[in-house]
A = this chain, B = another copy of it.
């Protein structure tokens, strides 16, 4: 790698820290024990995680008094040894978690050692490491990608893998293991924490919420590292296409956005750049829209615009859309089941059920080939490879031609150009917000390891405000888990493993509400807005994701959530209910008290 002038300048920047991380006296305050949001899941999670379930929330605060006795504050902490690993898909800002962790460790004791695992979890299993020194940090701070250490397929699935990780941590005498990743990797972190605790291994496991999909959100986690950058890069490109469309006035751009199953990236980009139309996976799933419905909806929009003499437009689609369309999802399930049974790709089409076969045969050849790809490691289809945008563009073209022939549509010929935006955003230099947020979480991770807690996620909240007002802490990973119950095959029901699941776009949330309120104006008015390339200095350098401003940190929203959970507790606690249900309900009440405390203004000790 050769640094460009901008990269060199960026490498000189050290992010600020909030007051609770200033100085050498960081205080940790333990809250009440946590539980999970759905009391029905509590028992199952507790059974799977007996050592790490029910731990209290941790809040950091800066004690102003402690800075007075110099002798005390200058007292060095003991040196510690920490390992760090990138898990899952790269997300801009990931490097800064490591840089923050390094700087915090060296600040509190220069003898501490930070060890990076090379090539993701493979490096963890096989003890392939490098020591992360000041030189390494200087080369990667505020830069994109995960190339400081690399990554692999990154799962911790089998008992052999868990054992290998345990052996590595023991061999390296690690005090802490910091896992940087999204929902799957943080579930894996929880599993490692539990196994390590049971094996009386002294390595404490800490997870950090780093995923550009923005789907690791809950009452403890407001934002994910990388989401802000990816939305900004994509929004810039979408806006450029809006400008291009408006200049040439002859094309519809269909843009598919990376983001896995959920539509957070797509929603955020819509709010930043104001394209004409967007179709969210969550809307489709909730309204059970078919391919035909979606096509019709787009065609109606094209026709309405043509009546105003507009023959251009921009339409956003999340990559997860394909799986949210009920009949396509069912077809994919059949294909994946047949693949699992070892049926060869060439003969799958002959073994589909009659209706699935009919749907399959009706699709264009390119999409047939893509639907036959083996599923990804998380059991979902290979979303990045399935060109839903091309499928919809073709279906819309065919329908517009038909409407034209029948005389229903009298406008000019419909023309489309398709794009997929994903990899080009994922590898970007991180935005200032992601640089700061990741660096702060790196510091927080150090303090959590240093405090000896295990199975926690590093958190920073109040992110809508200046870094100086951020609050830091830790939340037990198990408190973010849910259990999914699903029908699997005829007649059999399956209770899933407790996991941290991706959170979908909340169709009752403020961000979606903002979209709905503007949908008609966006569709007809061409209110395109170009946030521009993300800036490091001057105007535009500090703005944060819109969804963070309107949704998270929204106390009213939290009150609603709080009330909904209370309602749930109320509904399950009935005459004659079991002791277990009562216990679960009590436990949820404790957790709700914690949410309430997060909602209330910070105690004075937290603010400088």
Chain A residues with a Cβ under 8 A of chain B: 1-7, 9-10, 89-90, 119, 143-147, 150-151, 233, 236-237, 239-249, 253, 272, 274, 365-366, 417, 419, 421, 423-429, 526-540, 543
Q: Across the interface, which residues of B come within 8 angstroms of A531, CB to CB?
A: 4-6
Min CB gap A244→B, angstroms: 3
Contact B248 A90 (CB under 8 A): yes
Q: Check if A274 sits within 8 Å of B151, measured CB to CB.
A: no
In the docked arrangement, what's the CA distance between A591 and B429, Å? 48
A429-B532, A536-B540 known; 4 other A-B pairs, CB under 8 Å?
A1-B528, A1-B529, A5-B540, A147-B243
Please, which residue of chain B has its CB at the minimum distance from the CB of A365?
A: B365
Interface centre among A4, A7, A249, A428 (most CB of B within 10 A): A4
A147 closest partner in B (C-beta): B246
Residues of B within 8 A of A1 (CB): 246, 526-529
Q: Which of B240, B366, B428, B540 contacts A240 (CB 8 A)?
A: B428
Are A237 and B424 touching (Cβ within 8 A)? yes
Evaluate contact between A537 and B534: CB separation under 8 angstroms.
no
Q: How far is the CB of A540 from chain B (nearest CB, A)?
A: 4
User: A4: shortest Cβ distance to chain B, in Å?
Assistant: 5
Q: Nearest chain B CB to A334's CB is how many angstroms away? A: 26
B248 touches A530 (CB 8 A): no
Q: Which residue of B lies closest to A245 (CB)?
A: B427
Assembled-state Cα–Cα distance A89/B427 (Å): 29
Decide: B247 and A9 in contact? CB cutoff 8 A.
no
Contact A533-B530, Cβ < 8 Å, known A240-B426, A427-B244: no
Q: Do the beta carbons of A243 and B427 come within 8 Å of each other?
A: yes
| A6 with B144, Cβ < 8 A, contacts A244-B423, A427-B243 known | no
State how many copies of this chain the complex holds. 2
Beta-carbon contact of A530 and B90 below 8 Å: no
Contact residues in B for A5 (Cβ distance below 8 Å)? 531, 539-540, 543
- Which residues of B lie under 8 Å from residue A536 when comparing CB positions? 532, 535, 538-540
- The residue on B at minimum CB distance from A1 is B528
Name A366's closest neighbour in chain B (CB-CB): B366
Write out the residue numbers on chain B whose beta carbons fall within 8 Å of the beta carbon of A243: 143-145, 147, 427-428
B537 x A538 contact (CB < 8 A): yes
Q: A555 → chain B, closest Cβ, in Å?
A: 26
- Is A247's CB under 8 angstroms from B429's CB? no
Q: Which of A3, A240, A253 has the most CB of B within 10 A?
A: A240
Which of B237, B526, B530 contacts A4, CB < 8 Å? Answer: B530
B150 near A532 (CB under 8 angstroms)? no
In the complex, the chain B residue whose C-beta lies closest to that of A428 is B240
Partner of A537, one of B240, B366, B527, B539: B539
Residue of B nearest to A145 (CB): B243
Contact A2 B527 (CB under 8 A): yes
The reply to whether A528 and B248 form a contact with Cβ atoms under 8 Å apart is no
The answer to whether B527 and A240 have CB atoms under 8 Å apart is no
Contact B274 A2 (CB under 8 A): yes
Residues of the B chain whose Cβ atoms lie less than 8 Å from the Cβ of A150: 246-249
CB-based contact A419/B429 at 8 Å: no
A240 CA to B90 CA, complexed, in Å = 11
Question: What are 28 A-B pairs at a CB distance below 8 A?
Answer: A1-B527, A3-B529, A4-B540, A5-B543, A7-B529, A9-B538, A9-B540, A90-B247, A90-B248, A144-B530, A151-B248, A236-B533, A240-B423, A240-B425, A243-B427, A243-B428, A244-B424, A253-B423, A366-B366, A419-B423, A421-B424, A429-B532, A532-B536, A536-B538, A536-B540, A537-B538, A537-B539, A538-B538
Q: What distance in Å separates the Cβ of A168 from its nearest Cβ neighbour in chain B?
A: 21
Please indicate which of the listed interface residues A89, A233, A366, A423 has the most CB atoms of chain B within 10 Å of its own CB.
Answer: A423
Q: Closest Cβ of chain B: how far from A342's Cβ, in Å?
A: 20
Whether B147 contacts A6 by the Cβ 8 Å rule is no
A567 to chain B, nearest CB (A): 39
Q: CA separation between A427 and B528, bound complex, in Å?
A: 12
Complex Cα spacing A2 to B531, Å: 10
CA distance A403 to B563 in the complex (A): 64
Q: Whole-angstrom distance from the CB of A181 to the nearest CB of chain B?
A: 13
By a CB distance below 8 angstroms, the chain B residues around A237 are 237, 424
Check if B90 sits within 8 Å of A429, measured CB to CB: no
- Expressed in whole angstroms, the Cα–Cα distance for A90 and B240 within the complex equals 11
Given contacts A90-B247, A526-B1, contact A540 B6 (CB under 8 A): yes
Give the contacting residue for A427; candidates B6, B247, B423, B427; CB below 8 A.
B247
Decide if B365 touches A7 in the complex (CB within 8 Å).
no
Cross-interface CB contact of A535 among B6, B423, B424, B427, cutoff 8 Å: B6
Q: How far is the CA of A90 from the CA of B233 in the complex (A)?
A: 21
The answer to whether B242 touches A427, judged by C-beta atoms less than 8 angstroms apart, is yes
Question: Contacts of A428 on B, CB cut-off 8 Å?
Answer: 236, 240, 243, 533
A527 CA to B147 CA in the complex, in Å?
A: 13
- Residue of A365, A425, A526, A530 with most partner-chain B CB within 10 A: A530
Q: Which residues of B contact A534 (CB under 8 A)?
A: 533
Tell me, in angstroms, the Cα distance from A249 to B543 when the chains sit together. Answer: 33
Chain B hits for A253, CB < 8 A = 423
Residue of B247, B423, B532, B539 touching A241 (CB-CB under 8 A): B423
Q: Which residues from B are CB-within-8-Å of A146?
A: 247-248
